[in-house]
Amino acid sequence: MKRFIGFIKKEFYHIFRDKRSLFILFGMPIAQIMLFGFAITNEINNVDIAILNNSKDATTEEIINKLNSSSYFSIKEFIQNENEIEAIFKKGHVKAVLNFEADFSKKLSTKNNANVQIITDATDPNTANTISNYVSAILQNYTQTINKNVTITYQIIPKTRMVYNQELKSVFMFVPGVMTIILMLVSAMMTSISITREKELGTMEILLVSPLKPFQVIVGKVVPYIFLSIVNAIIIIILSIFVFNMPVQGSLFLLGIESILFIITSLSLGILISTVSVTQQTAMMISLMGLMLPVILLSGFIFPITSMPLPLQIISNIIPAKWFIIIVKGIMLKGVGFTFIWKETLILVGMTLFFIVLSTKKYKIRLE
Amino acid sequence: MKEETAIHVENLTKMFGDFTAVNAISFDVKKGEIFGFLGANGAGKTTAMKMLIGILTPTSGNADVAGFNVNTQPESIKKSIGYMSQKFALYDDLTVKENITFFGGIYGLTRKQINEKRYQLVEELELQEIVNELVSSLPLGWKQKIAFSVALLHNPKIVFLDEPTGGVDPITRRQFWELIYKAANKGTTIFVTTHYMDEAEYCDSVSIMVNGKIEALDTPKKLKEQFNAESMNDVFLKLARG
């Protein structure tokens, strides 16, 4: 045991004396969570729009005021005729134009309907879609207020309610994903690099000749990263709670346990990578290409798995991150208990065991 | 196994697939002796050595190192030997002191023993100035001397040195060999592989490996007589050319 503590101490010296690894360990989690939280967002905020008002009456003025007073839009320009629409989009900053038809108010009161055209700049399809939805919602809201006293029979008005993330904050969606990426990166990449480094420098040989057993060497190399990954998980959770007001509906304790499980899964992957790579560069490339990309693309972090083609959906099942993201979202956003996520937990446990057995085998073959 | 034998090797063989890296070698190393293990690159030196230090299992044959069998007791062998490889035995990003503490620690020395050893080592090698420096800042010659001393920390019966003097100047090599002599005089058996034929002259016994087999084995003096050669270099060239 004493030998072991000495070993871990040495490992911490390595980590704290290498500015690069320190940066990856602590700079990156904070930078990533801030980036995803603040910069990369699906929400719309103060989008510039232009108005082409062909009627200029009380109703249209009211609608325009409503749009302007919402935090989503700010009205940049009023244009006079349809020919200007093209020009204003080309200038770039206006993302949508609302075109009210002539005699809007009159038509509304006599014919019971009036038209407004929403033209959006679809060079960015997601934003365009969101804008048109938001505008429609504001318009619908307005019609409801003016129709308050009139009873219209047989009308279906769907009332959507987004549960678990009522305000559709994208940061809520990103935090579980970022947490997954960071834990994966720190655990898998850092351990695989640090183990291959010993191989590359030739010190691994010295360690194997010493009375330390091979598994003691590996565990000794891994333990510091378990510790650091837990610190990272805590930093991420604290940031998301206090900076982004993200709720943790479920039990923090359960979240902690599941995070430790995922850390161990990633570490065992890291060990596996280190058994197949000889140099630090290889270890890094395998970790980045083999782990990061699938985590970002196939785990459901950014792109929903259900809308992927079937082969990709099947592949996504073998990515540990997918299951961890389900678990984290479940605990943080839905507040579910263990009974709802035991299946995912079991899958992670199974994967971990598989990686450990496989790397033990590979490790032995290499020694021969 | 006789009392004064440190290493006893019998028909030790290692095959990698169809390739025979080490072909039924046999030899004895006496206690307290400096045994030079020579051979060209790829002759099988390192493979043979790896079997002796317990990190490679022989395909067939047998060997006893410090009284333990390589096939059945590799863990016991590891406790009684020291090892220094041609690559570095020390961590560059640790100070000399931290390296000593670490290696002492993994060989199971107590804190008190480590401190005593360190004190002794600092005195002997005159390390007072650099004991708290990072190893990366030291010249190569220093690193090797310290690495050798670190390999001796736990008082091993046998020390295995895998090309310990690669890449250093002749003066530093000379100093290094003085350290080897000192250790041998204290009764430690030294098993050393080297490229430098002049170093072979310093050994008590020399074995020369060619293509996985030991082609010559004797004292440097007798080998020179046997091959009618001026120096060990000539002996080696005659053997290697067949």
Interface test with A, best of B106, B113, B114, B158 (most A CBs within 10 A): B106
Provide the domain limits for residue B124.
34-56+72-241
Categorize the per-residue pLDDT at A368 as very low, low, confident or very high, splitting at 50, 70 and 90. Answer: very low
Looking at beta carbons, which residues of chain B come within 8 Å of A13?
A: 91, 93-94, 98
Residues in B closer than 8 angstroms to A6, CB to CB, are 101-102, 105-106
Compare all CA atoms of chain B with the CA of A16 and give the residue at the minimum distance: B93
Q: How confident is the model at residue B68 (pLDDT cuts 50, 70, 90)?
A: very high
Confidence check: pLDDT of A155 > 60: no
CA distance A7 to chain B (A): 7
Q: Cβ contact (<8 Å) for A201 and B92?
A: yes
Confidence of residue A340 (pLDDT cuts 50, 70, 90): confident
Confidence bin at B188 (pLDDT 50/70/90):
very high
Neighbour-count burial for A136-152, b at 16+ CB within 10 Å, e otherwise: eebbeeeeeeeeeeeee
Residue A214 with chain B: CB contacts under 8 Å: none
Read off the pLDDT of residues A215-254 as tens digits, 9 standing for 90 and up.
888 888 889 999 989 998 898 888 888 888 788 888 889 9
Residue B226, SS3 per DSSP: helix
pLDDT above 90 (res A89): no
Closest chain A residue to B93 measured between Cα atoms?
A14
Segment A326-344 shows an average pLDDT of 88
Q: What is chain A's mean pLDDT, rounded?
A: 83
The position carrying tokens 């430690």 is: B188
What is the mean predicted confidence (pLDDT) over A138-149?
78
pLDDT of residue B88: 67
- With CB atoms and an 8 Å threshold, state whether B55 touches A14: no
Q: What is the pLDDT of residue A204?
A: 84
| Closest residue in chain A to residue B101, using alpha carbons only | A6
**Pick from B57, B75, B83: CB nearest A206:** B83
Distance CA A185, CA A321 (A): 11
> Which stretch, A1-5, A26-30, A150-154, A222-226, has highest mean pLDDT?
A222-226
The contacts of residue A50 (CB under 8 Å, 6+ apart) are A75, A76, A77, A78, A79, A85, A88, A94, A96, A97, A98
A169 pLDDT tier (thresholds 50, 70, 90): low
Domain boundaries, chain A: 2-40+169-367, 47-146
User: Residue B85 in contact with residue B130, Cβ under 8 Å?
Assistant: no
In this predicted structure, what is the pLDDT of residue B234? 87
Q: Which residue of A has its CA nearest to B50?
A: A209
Yes or no: say if A94 and A76 are a contact pair by the CB < 8 Å rule: yes
Q: How far does A363 lie from chain B, in Å, by closest CA?
A: 12
What's the pLDDT at B27?
93
Q: Is the pLDDT of residue A151 over 70?
A: no
Say if B138 falls within a structural domain.
Answer: yes
Mean local confidence (pLDDT), A330-356:
90
Give B87's contacts in chain A (Cβ within 8 Å).
Answer: 201-203, 205
Interchain contact, B94 vs A211, CB within 8 Å: no
A213 neighbourhood in chain B, CB within 8 Å: 75
Residue B47 lies inside a defined structural domain of this protein: yes
Q: Which amino acid belongs to residue B55?
A: I
Per the document, the length of chain A is 368
Which among B85, B101, B106 has the least Cβ separation from residue A212? Answer: B106
More confident residue, B83 or A202: B83
CB B107 to CB A210 under 8 A? Answer: yes
CATH of the domain at B127: 3.40.50.300
Tell me, what's the pLDDT at B157? 92
pLDDT computed for residue A133 by the predictor: 84
Q: Which of residues 175-234 of A touch B (CB under 8 A)?
A: 201-203, 205-213
**CB < 8 Å from B in window 15-44 of A:** 17-18
- The whole-number pLDDT of residue B22 equals 92
Residue of higher predicted confidence among A158 and B20: B20
- ipTM of the predicted assembly exceeds 0.90: no
| CATH for the A47-146 domain, from 3.40.630.40, 3.40.605.10, 3.40.50.2300, 3.40.1710.10 | 3.40.1710.10
**pLDDT of A166 higher than 50:** yes
Give domain status of residue B186, yes or no: yes
Q: What angle do CA A362, A365, A367 make, to 5 degrees?
A: 110
Interval B28-66: pLDDT, tens? 999 999 999 988 878 888 889 989 998 888 999 999 999
Query: Quick one: what percent of chain A has pLDDT higher than 90?
Result: 11
| Residue-level pLDDT at A91 | 83
Q: pLDDT digit string (tens) for A13-43?
A: 988 888 888 888 888 888 888 887 776 666 6
Strand order across the beta sheet in which A116-120 lies: A73-79, A47-53, A96-100, A116-120
- The sign of the torsion formed by the CA atoms of A73, A79, A83, A84 equals negative
Average pLDDT over residues A159-164: 61
Interface of B with A in 62-81 (CB under 8 A): 75, 78-79, 81
Mark which residues 190-229 of B lie under 8 Å from A by CB.
Answer: none
Distances (CA, A) of B140 to A58, B89, B136: 88, 12, 9
Total domains present in chain B: 1
Distance CA A232, CA A235 (A): 5
Q: Which residue of B has its CA nearest to A3?
A: B106
Rounded to an integer, the average pLDDT of B17-35 is 91
A7:B102 CB<8 A? yes
Between CA A317 and CA B69 the distance in angstroms is 48
Chain A residues whose beta carbon lies within 8 Å of the beta carbon of residue B79: 211
At residue A158, does pLDDT exceed 80?
A: no
Question: Inter-chain contact A368–B101, Cβ cutoff 8 Å?
Answer: no
- Asked if residue B96 has pLDDT above 90, the reply is yes
* Chain B residues 124-163 with a CB less than 8 Å from chain A: 160
Among A163-167, A324-328, A343-347, the minimum mean pLDDT is found in: A163-167
Pick from A154-163, A203-212, B188-197: least confident: A154-163
Q: Determine, for residues B87 and A205 on separate chains, whether the beta-carbon distance falls below 8 Å.
A: yes
pLDDT in tens, A268-280: 999 999 888 888 8
Lowest mean pLDDT among A121-135, A180-194, B155-169, B202-216: A121-135
Residue B1 has pLDDT above 50, yes or no: no
Distance from CA of B201 to the nearest CA of A (A): 27
Q: Is B19 a member of any domain? A: no
Nearest C-alpha in B relative to A9? B102
A184/A48 Cα distance (integer angstroms): 39
Mean pLDDT of B154-166: 89
Q: CA-to-CA distance for A14 and A25, rounded, in angstroms? A: 13
Nearest CB among A10, A13, A208 relative to B55 is that of A208
